[in-house]
Structure 1
Amino acid sequence: HAPNIITEPQVLSSLKDFVQKGGNILLTQDAFPYIVDLGLETERPQIRYVEARDGGYGRKIGLHAFKEHPVFDGLFGGANIYNPYQDVLCRQNGYFDDSFPKNGKVIAVDWSYIHLRENSKLMVEYEYGRGKVIAVGAYVYMAESNYHKNHLSLFLENIFNYLAERKEFEKKYYWDYQPNLIRHFKKDTPSIDIPSSKVWDKSPGSITLYSRDASEDFWDIAGQRLVIMGKERGGIEEIWAHPLMALRDYEVGIQFTDNDSIHWLNNQNPELEIRPESITRQYKFKRAYLKEIVTTSIDQPTGVIHYEYRGVYSAKIIIRFKSNMRFMWPYSQEVTGNLFYTWDPGMNAFIIKGGNKEFGLILGSNSRPNQHVIGPYNEVIKSDTLLMGVEGENFLVSGGLEFNLEANDNLDMIITASNEGLVELEKNYKAAIINPQAIHIEAIESTRGFLAEHTQVITPNSVLNEGYRWALIGANRFYVDTPGLGQSLVAGYSTTATGWDGDHQINGRPGYAWYFGRDAQWSAFALLNYGDFEKVKSVLKIFQDYQDLNGKIFHELSTSGVVHYDAADATPLYIVLAGRYLKHSGDLKFIRKSWPYIKKAVDFCFSTDTNNDHLIENTNVGHGWVEGGGLFGSNSTLYLSSSWAEALKEVAYIASSLGYTEQSLEYLKEHEIVKKIINEEYWNEKDNFFYYGKNIDGSFNPEVTILAAIPLLFNQIEKNKTSPVLGKFAQNGFSSDWGVRIVLEESELFNPRGYHTGSVWPLFTGWTALAEYKNGNSNQGYTHMMNNLLVYRYWAKGFIEEVLNGLEYKPSGVCRHQGWSQTMVSQPILEGMLGMEPNAFEHKVSLSPGLPVNWDSLTVNHIKIGNHNLDFKMNRIEGRTTYQFTHKGRRPLLLTFSPFFPPGTKIHSVKLNGKEYKTQINANSFQTHLKLNLELKKYATVDVEHSGGIDVIPLVPNPKPGYKSKGFRLLSTEYKAMEFLIELQGQSGSNEVIELYLLDRKIDRVDNAKLIDRKGNIHKLAVSFKKDKTRYVNETVKVLLK
């Protein structure tokens, strides 16, 4: 460990002899240069300095292997072994940039935050005779103040075990700095019998989005192992088989016999059909058309591109593609290693494989090409009649094929790729090439089965019904199985053309298509709501498998296997998810097995409260929610404190269910303390709103943010504080016509494109909708839920954007298709609008539907509570509402049913299965609701006879891409003694119309609005907003009833 002070030849000779005979030496820090004195190297290592500086996430620095090495056993391939208490300058001994150890193997490179500094080689291994020498040139500070002493201790223990050969290790990798080469290899597989392609049946019953004019908008088709992404007009931009980009720049051209021109499909304008299982493009030419269907296997790394050609004359189809086998970020493109390529006539396919014998790709067809070419080319072109490669300096394999098409012909292209080696790939390819349509049929049936097995909602609004189904399909698409890692939810899909490139020459970041902490947790809440318990169990399991030594839950786990822990919220949200999983599934066996991980996570959270104020902290722990920008910097944000309070409540429930009564009571007591702090200390009396966060000096950041929705949706807020907060949410400062911003439009921080300073996130909008539904503002909750849902009609059709611009209706984020954006459609519907609260462990569920006042029907199928299945129907005719329940389960289900009616409703009778039922009726100025406690065995019917009632039909803006916000908002309503007050906000000088639903009553007079139409119970009121210097004006409409 000490500097080089032993130089006597006799001592050095003795050390060399010791190693040669089987001894082992560990050299750390300034002893690293001994590798030269011992004769293991000729070139002396260099010295550099790096600063361990707190940029908001702590000062964690360390070392990382290429994939894995025994010295990182239990540390997931790398370890931040140094996390000092203060900013310090650290000395590194190692080989940097173009300097390499000539005789040693590089075990680890420098690692901090999300950066692998592959050219900073800080840990080297030597074999000399029968012994080993390991040199570690940085961060082994034994006496320093270090938050990560346990990481350092395990790291050193692993080194000693490895040197002493005390364990057997399956895999061991080293960083390889040899130049990457592209070479041909020969492979002659025995010919397989390949049936010819057939016409594919249409997808009967599949929900379909049609477009006559394709655009440059994004699309994706994904199974659990493969994701295919492209633009609508033509081709495929990228195919990822986690953890590698298998294929890119797949392009198709068609050449007719009467013309030498190639019609590249990327330049055409096809008709488009987007389905859950496929994308279909139909290209029309003079006297010919070509149909292309792209689909993927549900659970295998295999995709199919199917072609059907119909023409007066024959034609040729040209297909070209590229592959660089890009290993996912944070590794650079340099780690791919050598690539080998060939054409295998036996399989009628191209094969590309990596030198590591793991990465591989097979691309072939069930039609014999009349010519093919592949090699280390920048691209493939057709010159006269021949395909040929254009050489270049890019590290790429490019290939091309040409097929003859008869006047009535079909063709299938099969792609399969993975990191499991060629033997497995050949099995997948052979299975697919025999019957490509089977993959398509399986995908169709899987979609049907998925929708049939999970909660379905059918309303009078057909757009909502379709959008809800797409929301479930879009969320399910993020469940990814990565060999060697596990299964969980990735965050978002896009190609490497968008977003940050990771500081790499070739981008290895496909949107956010890797595993995240908070993303998976917020998304998984919705999966629980619609009953996909097994996937949520997998999400919890991967958190537990990769839990840090100190109990912290990861923020990101790339599918290339690199994990880091730079978020503060992932750990409390993991606890919340575990509690909700138990409530939804009743799976006490799994939770009991998970208790050590849950307890460790809770203990970690407690450890981060360094000032004993009962609040867990962001400082030296990580971000959560905001990762940077003007809002960043609080010691404890309201969002984090609220998440902690909810975690305490859920862990108390878990502990109680497991029989740990004393611990449960302690957690509940702490929950009440934190909740009180939120209501009292975080409350800003001046602004009548919550502070954003508590600073390290005890002061508070007064910025008004949408993050105040979190304690509201967790039901942590005192009733007298909910109205002013919800009122602000509904106004134009936060709300646009397509969702809500994190800060007010009038804030000094506001930037409509700012990631955390003004753009609209469907996530925030969903939080807001949940907060509104759970606190009585169901009309506003419906509006915000529909803001999210309606996005499915534009851009990545069927799916919801990650981020939208704060002033104009257009995308503003990295991913066109984002996980928690999808789930913030279904969660506000199921948990918000239906008010679903399960307790499967106790065989209970609560439903408190707050529906739009004009709905006369609702069907909800397959509500899952543990092993219970509940169907629910509502039908309303004049003065009578009927609720029907159908239950399946081994034992009765206890249902607390609290439907909401509009304010002013009079309840005349309630009958259960035809018999009078005495119910609790609660009425206030904005709603009336009943409360029934039912024991459901098989069937139950509740009939409610009622009269009266008045409410506004929710406002649902319908912006088109490029629109600006019109700014017409419903802020609040209040009913009192035959008088209905409607608080509205609109643009200065604007004229708007609201619809009022009124039952069994007549309007006597309307103030500040004009009654312009009436159809049945629906009255239309025209509202004019006065001209004013301010952009937005409030108006109170008063409706007096007879």
Structure 2
Amino acid sequence: MKLFNNFIWLNLKRISFLSLFFLTALLISDTAAAKQVIRIGFLSTQKSVKADDEVSAAYKFLKNNQSYVVTRITFEQIKQDPKLLDGNNVLWFHKPDSAGFSESAVDKSVICTINNFISDGGGLLLTLDAFRYINILGLEKQIPGIRYQKIKDQGNGRKLGLHALRSHPIFDGLHGGANIWNGYKDNVARKVGFFGSSVPRNGKVVAVNWAYITLRDSEKLAVEYRYGKGKVLAIGAYTYFAPRNYNRLSLEKFTNNCLLYLANALKSKEKARYWSYSPLKVLPFTETTPSVNFPRSKSWGENSNSLAFKLQRASGSTWDLGEERILMMGKERGGLDEIWIHPFMAFRDYKVGVEFSDKDSVCWLDEQRPEIEARPESFTRTYRFPRAVIKEIMTSDIHQPAGIIHYAYKGQSPAKFIIQFKSNLRFMWPYNSDALGSLYYGWSDGLNAFHVKNKSGEFNVLIGSNKKPLEKRFGRFDGFSKKGTVFEGKPTTKFQVSGLVAYAVQKNDQFDVVLVGTDEGKKAAFKYYEQAMKNPEKIYKNTIRYYRDFLDTSLMITTPDKEFNQGYRWALVGTDKFYVNTPGIGKSLVAGYATTARGWDGSQKVSGRPGYAWYFGRDGQWSGLALSDYGDFGKVKSELEVYQKYQALSGKIYHELTTSGVVHYDAADATPLYLILAGHYLRWSGDLNFIRKSWKHIKKAIDFCFSTDWNQDHLIENTHVGHGWIEGGPLYGAQTTLYLASCWAEALKEASYMAKNLGYEKEAKYYHKEFRRVTGIINRDFWNSKKKFFYYGKLADGSFNPEKTVLPAVSLYFNLIDKEKVFPMLNEYGENSFSSNWGVRILRESSPLFNPRGYHDGSVWPLFTGWAALAEYSHGQYTQGFSHIMNNLLVYKHWAKGYIEEVLNGEIYKPSGVCDHQCWSETMVLQPALEGMLGLKADAMENRLSLSPRLPFNWNSIKVEHIRVGYHTLSFTLRRDKGKTTYYFFHTGSKSLKVDFSPQFPSGSVINGIFLDGKPVKNSVISNRQAKSVNLNFDIKDKATIVIYHYGGIGVLPNILHPVPGSRAGGFRIVSSKLDGKSYTVVVQGKPGSKEILKIYSPVEQVKSVVNAEMLHYKNNIYSVQVPFPKSSNKYLVRKIKFLLR
């Protein structure tokens, strides 16, 4: 153990946070890449490299790599003996100073010798100011420019680097780009390259400036030249070897890649792509394809069995259909705003008009108010006109990049449909809108489709129909206008193509529009199109079947509350919609859906950000916990595989991975959350083989976390690592936040669990020891005894930020907090200060930092509300926990129908974020319902399930199906009769399942007997703040029946609010409840001058009187009392309602 501790702490004192393990692995990797020893000539202008610290450091880096045989060669030596270069594979000229080149370096004979070396197949690497040597060698006529960049840590480090256009071998293992510089100190970087409109005439741009999360493609800092049989790479910035660099591993990997590439020894599957700066054009091309006979469209059958959200009149709200490869988004009234086929926007501004035979004008459908019907598989509009009805059904393929729009027309006369659309093949951010080069468009008579492709031919989209068009128009237009009977395009300078197609329909007619896209080339695009067009209705039926099967096999809860049942099912569907497959990347969860019209545009003229429809660390990890809970193990495993595929060399897990393939490592919490998710996955799935195969990634992530404890106080830090959870605003900034410390503690617990099950006893014990230590630090150092609340975070000077936030709910959920510290915080979460009528704010509305619109300083996130609910259920505040679940669940009724918003205003019930449909907003209905309300915990390695139903007391029945633990599946039903509750269990699995069963009953309940399959069973009864817990253990092979006889008891029922859009925060809150002998006290909060109804469940009539409230009636085992709040100048009042019992 002592050796292990020394390993961790010793390496903290060395270069950056790199460990010897990482460096060794890097050298082994690079050694494997090179089949032969690489001979490198290190060019120098001086006799001794020691004369310059930077040159000396670069030379030392080379000498430390055993794959290289390094010879230091001066230009003067080359002048004297040209044969010195013979036998070398690569020359490296590293010039950190801005002075001119030495006399010998520009000597004609030296230049000739070096050129001959390259021409004969040698490689030349020019770094920093040696970039300018391309002109001396005659490789380039265009003179490079010089720019300076101030590098200051403003909270996100000093990350700078280089990025390819998608891929290049020199970024092998670096995912297309590398932040090779992240210095310990602020500095000014000198950049040599081609800037603005200046481009190399002879070379190809390999990489551009990558500043934090922005690709500055106007700054060309890496250029490749081919000369004879050899290659030259000129790298004009950030290759600093002497200063301390947090990203040293990336620098070394990148430099080794460059050297191996130049030596033709780099075995990489990365395709060499180059940035293009040719003038952008939008040009027609002639499409010649064999004619394919597609069957005519037929009437589609109705689907009456799936979930449905129906409105008689559409609003201006958004909707989306997201499947694995395609995302379709629009507004309820009509059309499609954007269609994304990852990683690019395939179409936009799709709109439809109808020209009836008795009218000359076009009736555009997006100007109407249709009936709408949102279903998991489709979005349907029904337009009713005086003499016609049009039904439009939009759906998409679950697995392939194909969307279908079905039109059914019933009218008293024929009509003409006019369909308009645009395409710009917008590659997802952070790439610019012109990254894919010129656009080419054409019409395929053979496919009856419009075709757009990019210059390389990799990106293709097709849109067509199984009905021949009456007319068609295409070009570089910004829409169309009708002049007489003819449509004419509106010329534009915008980089886009617009199309218009008209179709004739008979009195009772139908046709289908099919749209597909891919970055896999023309052949794949044609295949997807032909498959979809052969039977569009089959895609519709397959999608219906997918969601039916998904709901039939997921963990399902059916209760007496129809509102809960419907919302829970929509949350399952809404979560599954975020599972996205991007070719070349993998399958994982993206974060949120919205069009590019919403939110930050990425500082780009044409936004390439469809909400947050790309892969995230923390978002996917928090959401993945719910997927494990409801048994979708395959998707969680795939998610973990993507995290591991894109794990940084240091072991860090990414914060963002765009579907265009750009990865950012900006967060401190993504790595511990990855460990938490991996442990959670093992507990539920029992997939030890996968964890064993993943251990190298898991161990690497653990070691990375340890390495970020800069001051050795056992807490990992945000400092130099990244944000987590707060990304900006007045709360931002801490050395270590409570949230991050709590994630680290839980990660250590899960790491210990995984290590123990893998047989790594020493690691398991060490991680558990650290878990106990970190938990102790949290409770000792982060507790504000004056305010009875936890600090937000620890600052660099050792002081603490005392702002009260919702973030301690995460610590409570992880069960890290001492018991005596729990309820002061939970009570505040239940009050109006934190809780609105639609969820929980990040901080109190009375805080001087409160801004109801603020992303991180006052808005309501369903994520926060879910955290609060999980914390409340974990510590016995079941009433408040259920109320907060319902806060989240009910949002699905109001904006994107069926789905839950990313962020809501903290003062007025309205959206306040970017996305109308957010993944972790959906999962924060599911996770609190499953882990909280049902009390589910699993240990598949022990074939064990903990089940502690904490249901609203007036629910007399429940049905729970498909609880999966490893290879076990458990279902149960509950039926409550007078004085008796019966649980029926059903199990499938090769072994018996151990069940720790702890159902909750109202406080004061008398338990008269418990029987398992007709026999008395040992049990224990524990009273907590809101309920009485009956605890028993049993094994189940096939079936089991438990009957619990009970009498009496009393408990408050959740107060479920139904806010309407535009309503204001502030309402009736149940803060706490407690039974003390014959007195049952409920603490409530409300507005002065209001009268509120409080409901108390009691299976027997036992209340003699009530204090501070008026008894209304006792009906169906429920007391209803009216609570008056007197007038007051205070914003809210707290009242204690006492029920005196017989």
So what's the TM-score if we normalise by structure 2?
0.91
Q: Partner of 1:362 in structure 2?
A: 462
Q: Partner of 2:253 in structure 1?
A: 154
**RMSD after superposition:** 0.9
Alignment of 1:147-226 (within 5 A): 147-170=246-269, 171-226=271-326
Distance in 1, Cα, partners of 2:566 & 2:824? 34
| Cα shift at 1:1030 | 1.3
2:877, 2:1025 within 8 Å by CA — same for their partners in 1? no
Q: How many residues align?
A: 1042
| Cα shift at 1:453 | 1.2
2:172, 2:268 within 8 Å by CA — same for their partners in 1? no
Read off the aligned partner of 1:123 and give its amino acid letter: A
1:377, 1:397 within 8 Å by CA — same for their partners in 2? yes
Q: Partner of 1:345 in structure 2?
A: 445
Distance in 2, Cα, partners of 1:326 & 1:965? 40
Match of 1:81 among 150, 157, 180: 180
Read off the aligned partner of 1:927 and give its amino acid letter: A
Match of 1:769 among 869, 873, 883: 869
| Cα shift at 1:966 | 3.7
Q: Give the match's secondary structure for 1:768.
A: helix
| Cα shift at 1:962 | 0.5
Read off the aligned partner of 2:539 and give its amino acid letter: I
Q: 1:924 to 1:83 in 2, by over 3 A?
A: closer
Alignment of 1:427-576 (within 5 A): 427-576=527-676
Q: Partner of 1:139 in structure 2?
A: 238
1:925, 1:976 within 8 Å by CA — same for their partners in 2? no
Distance in 1, Cα, partners of 2:303 & 2:1109? 50
Read off the aligned partner of 1:357 and give its amino acid letter: G
Q: Give the match's secondary structure for 1:680.
A: helix
Distance in 2, Cα, partners of 1:924 & 1:350? 67
Is structure 2 residue 404 aligned with structure 1 residue 298?
A: no
Alignment of 1:15-30 (within 5 A): 15-30=114-129
Distance in 2, Cα, partners of 1:899 & 1:256? 64
Q: Give the match's secondary structure for 1:335.
A: coil
Is structure 2 residue 127 aligned with structure 1 residue 127?
A: no
Distance in 2, Cα, partners of 1:222 & 1:726? 37
Read off the aligned partner of 1:236 and give its amino acid letter: L
Structure 1 range deviating more: 978-987 or 388-397: 388-397
Q: Give the match's secondary structure for 2:696.
A: helix
Q: Percent identity?
A: 52
2:475, 2:498 within 8 Å by CA — same for their partners in 1? yes
Q: Partner of 2:333 in structure 1?
A: 233
| Cα shift at 1:168 | 4.2
Distance in 1, Cα, partners of 2:860 & 2:288? 55
Q: Give the match's secondary structure for 2:516.
A: strand
Alignment of 1:846-885 (within 5 A): 846-885=946-985
Is structure 2 residue 814 aligned with structure 1 residue 718?
A: no
| Cα shift at 1:91 | 0.7
Distance in 2, Cα, partners of 1:529 & 1:1041? 40
Q: Give the match's secondary structure for 2:807.
A: helix
| Cα shift at 1:925 | 4.4
Q: Give the match's secondary structure for 1:179.
A: coil
Read off the aligned partner of 1:573 and give its amino acid letter: L
Structure 1 range deviating more: 336-345 or 457-466: 336-345
1:371, 1:387 within 8 Å by CA — same for their partners in 2? no
Q: Partner of 2:794 in structure 1?
A: 694
Q: Partner of 1:391 in structure 2?
A: 491
Read off the aligned partner of 1:150 and give its amino acid letter: L
Q: Partner of 1:118 in structure 2?
A: 217
Match of 2:913 among 790, 813, 833: 813
Distance in 2, Cα, partners of 1:498 & 1:924? 46
Distance in 2, Cα, partners of 1:241 & 1:166? 36
Match of 2:521 among 421, 435, 441: 421
Is structure 2 residue 114 aligned with structure 1 residue 11?
A: no
Is structure 2 residue 433 aligned with structure 1 residue 333?
A: yes
Q: Give the match's secondary structure for 1:449.
A: helix
Match of 1:103 among 196, 202, 215: 202
- Kindly provide the CA deviation profile for residues 283-313 of structure 1, in whole angstroms up to 9, marking residues without a partner as x: 0111111000000000000010000000001
| Cα shift at 1:33 | 0.7
Distance in 2, Cα, partners of 1:790 & 1:532? 24
Q: Partner of 2:501 in structure 1?
A: 401
Alignment of 1:749-764 (within 5 A): 749-764=849-864
Structure 1 range deviating more: 1022-1031 or 971-980: 1022-1031
| Cα shift at 1:875 | 0.7
Structure 1 range deviating more: 640-649 or 420-429: 420-429
Is structure 2 residue 411 aligned with structure 1 residue 311?
A: yes
Match of 2:420 among 308, 320, 328: 320
Alignment of 1:840-989 (within 5 A): 840-989=940-1089
Is structure 2 residue 141 aligned with structure 1 residue 42?
A: yes
Distance in 1, Cα, partners of 2:988 & 2:555? 14
| Cα shift at 1:164 | 0.5
- Kindly provide the CA deviation profile for residues 942-996 of structure 1, in whole angstroms up to 9, marking residues without a partner as x: 1011011111110011100101124210000010111100100001221111111
1:519, 1:819 within 8 Å by CA — same for their partners in 2? yes
Distance in 2, Cα, partners of 1:328 & 1:1000? 62
| Cα shift at 1:55 | 1.3
1:1001, 1:1041 within 8 Å by CA — same for their partners in 2? no
- Kindly provide the CA deviation profile for residues 722-741 of structure 1, in whole angstroms up to 9, marking residues without a partner as x: 11010111011100000000
Q: Partner of 1:644 in structure 2?
A: 744
So what's the TM-score if we normalise by structure 1?
0.99
Q: Give the match's secondary structure for 2:694.
A: helix
Distance in 2, Cα, partners of 1:129 & 1:195? 56
> Is there any run of 5+ residues in structure 1 with no aligned partner, and where?
none
Is structure 2 residue 776 aligned with structure 1 residue 653?
A: no
Q: Give the match's secondary structure for 1:157.
A: helix
1:372, 1:387 within 8 Å by CA — same for their partners in 2? no
Distance in 2, Cα, partners of 1:824 & 1:113? 31
Alignment of 1:274-289 (within 5 A): 274-289=374-389
Read off the aligned partner of 2:432 and give its amino acid letter: S
| Cα shift at 1:146 | 1.0
Q: Give the match's secondary structure for 1:235.
A: strand
Distance in 2, Cα, partners of 1:509 & 1:966? 35
Read off the aligned partner of 1:1000 and give its amino acid letter: V
- Kindly provide the CA deviation profile for residues 229-277 of structure 1, in whole angstroms up to 9, marking residues without a partner as x: 0000000000000001000000000011111110000100000011000
1:993, 1:1020 within 8 Å by CA — same for their partners in 2? yes
Match of 2:131 among 32, 39, 42: 32
Distance in 1, Cα, partners of 2:639 & 2:328? 23
2:357, 2:415 within 8 Å by CA — same for their partners in 1? yes
- Kindly provide the CA deviation profile for residues 759-783 of structure 1, in whole angstroms up to 9, marking residues without a partner as x: 0000000000000001000000000
Structure 1 range deviating more: 511-520 or 111-120: 111-120
Q: Partner of 1:410 in structure 2?
A: 510
| Cα shift at 1:85 | 0.7
Distance in 2, Cα, partners of 1:689 & 1:617? 21
Q: Partner of 2:3 in structure 1?
A: none
- Kindly provide the CA deviation profile for residues 458-502 of structure 1, in whole angstroms up to 9, marking residues without a partner as x: 011001000000000000000000011111000000000100111
Q: Give the match's secondary structure for 1:333.
A: coil
Structure 1 range deviating more: 296-305 or 129-138: 129-138
| Cα shift at 1:576 | 0.3
> Is there any run of 5+ residues in structure 2 with no aligned partner, and where?
1-93
Structure 1 range deviating more: 427-436 or 905-914: 427-436
| Cα shift at 1:386 | 2.2
